[in-house]
Amino acid sequence: MKALSQKRRHPLAVLALLVMGLLLTGGLYAVASSANQAKADTTYSAADVSEGEKLFVANCATCHGMGASGTAAGPSLIGVGAAAVDFQVGTGRMPMQMQGPQAFKKPQQFNDEQTKQLAAYVASLGAGPALPEESLLDNEGDATHGGELFRVNCAMCHNAAAAGGALTRGKFAPSLAGVSEKHIYEAMATGPQNMPVFSDANISPEGKRDIITFLKTIETQGSPGGADLGALGPVSEGLFVWVAGLGVIIGFTIWLTSRSS
């Protein structure tokens, strides 16, 4: 014990501990990287990655740089994951038609197979959110719980009825009507443009499933209470009351005046 205590005071003891710590950290990182690579290989084939790289170089590298490392015109895509690519390309937001405060949804430039190949290439560059499992997109979640999560986390931008709303500097939160279940999930997992990222630590996969179920429920129900007036709340409702109410008052006044004369 005395000999061991003396060795602990050796000048090289701190250096030895530091080297051991670095070796341990490097080993754990290598194991984690291997696991991520193995997961990517089981999802996408080498042919998908190769074809995706060709599509990327021809259509995306101008803004995002060779190797997707980013440029002044576009951010780095390393680590964004397959879900981000599937959302942006699958909704037609990418490639952008022009620079602006926000990318608009438009018809897809790439078909489903090409979108898969682009996602495979970007996923091979670094671990990131993967495509959602089909079991999370079945609309069989708890709509009531999903409504609570939506009102707490999403309604301040997308409106309580998911009709969308204006943001600052020319940006906006789009309406969620007609958006596919997969793209809704991917948006929550990746946080496109102004939207925050809702990781599994913020909203669990089951919670995301509940939100999707809620959105599809209110979409199919329509407006059972009558005309929704754009689902914009007191703004459109108040405008309607003022216009309709004042119209009735003016019409009634004209009728009274004509009767008296």
Looking at the predicted structure, is the pLDDT value of residue 17 above 90? Answer: no
Higher-confidence residue of 37 and 80: namely 80
Instruction: Write down the pLDDT at residue 131.
Output: 95
CA dihedral sign, ordered 83, 85, 90, 94? positive
Residues 123 and 110 in one domain: yes
pTM: 0.72
Buried b (16+ CB within 10 A) or exposed e, 151-163: eebbbebbbebbb
pLDDT category of residue 82 using cuts at 50, 70 and 90: very high
Q: How many angstroms from the chain centroid is the CA of residue 243? A: 39
Look at residue 238 and tell me if it is in a domain: no
Residues 110 and 60 in one domain: yes
Look at residue 124 and tell me if it is in a domain: yes
**Lowest mean per-residue pLDDT among 113-122, 196-205, 231-240, 246-255:** 231-240
Residues 85 and 158 in one domain: no
What tens digit of pLDDT does each residue of 111-139 get?
999 999 999 999 999 989 999 999 999 99
Residues 65 and 112 in one domain: yes
Residues 53 and 122 in one domain: yes
Residues 77 and 147 in one domain: no
Look at residue 158 and tell me if it is in a domain: yes
Query: Alpha helices of 72-226 — where are they, by DSSP H?
Result: 81-90, 112-125, 143-153, 155-158, 181-190, 205-221
pLDDT category of residue 257 using cuts at 50, 70 and 90: confident
Domain that holds residue 218: 132-224
Q: Using an 8 Å Cβ cutoff, are 213 and 139 in contact?
A: yes
Domains contained in the chain, number? 2
| DSSP 8-state secondary structure symbol assigned to residue 200 | T
CATH of the domain at 218: 1.10.760.10
Residues 191 and 157 in one domain: yes
Look at residue 63 and tell me if it is in a domain: yes
Q: Using an 8 Å Cβ cutoff, are 141 and 210 in contact?
A: yes
Final residue of a structural domain among 130, 153, 168: 130
Look at residue 230 and tell me if it is in a domain: no
Looking at the predicted structure, is the pLDDT value of residue 93 above 50? Answer: yes
H-run or E-run covering 29: helix 13-43
Look at residue 119 and tell me if it is in a domain: yes
Instruction: Tell me the C-alpha distance between 59 and 47, whole Å.
Output: 18
- pLDDT more than 90, % of the chain: 58
Beta bridge partners of 165: 173
Joined tokens for residue 198: 């809702």
What tens digit of pLDDT does each residue of 26-73 get?
766 655 444 444 344 446 899 999 999 999 999 999 999 999 999 998
Pairing of strands 172-173, 165-166: antiparallel
Residues 112 and 140 in one domain: no
What tens digit of pLDDT does each residue of 230-242 get?
665 666 667 777 8
Final residue of a structural domain among 95, 111, 130: 130
Looking at the predicted structure, is the pLDDT value of residue 196 above 60? Answer: yes
Residues 60 and 115 in one domain: yes
Look at residue 244 and tell me if it is in a domain: no
H-run or E-run covering 35: helix 13-43
Residues 104 and 147 in one domain: no
Looking at the predicted structure, is the pLDDT value of residue 107 above 60? Answer: yes
Residues 125 and 137 in one domain: no
Closest listed residue to residue 103, CA positions, set 39, 45, 170: 170
Joined tokens for residue 152: 């707490």
Instruction: Write down the pLDDT at residue 8.
Output: 54
Buried b (16+ CB within 10 A) or exposed e, 165-203: beeeeeebbbbbeebebbbbbbbbbbbbeeeeebeeeeb
Closest listed residue to residue 218, CA positions, set 155, 165, 167: 155
Highest mean pLDDT among 17-21, 34-38, 161-165, 179-183: 179-183
Residues 180 and 203 in one domain: yes
Higher-confidence residue of 9 and 136: namely 136
Instruction: Write down the pLDDT at residue 233.
Output: 60
Higher-confidence residue of 25 and 45: namely 45
Instruction: Write down the pLDDT at residue 40.
Output: 41
Look at residue 191 and tell me if it is in a domain: yes
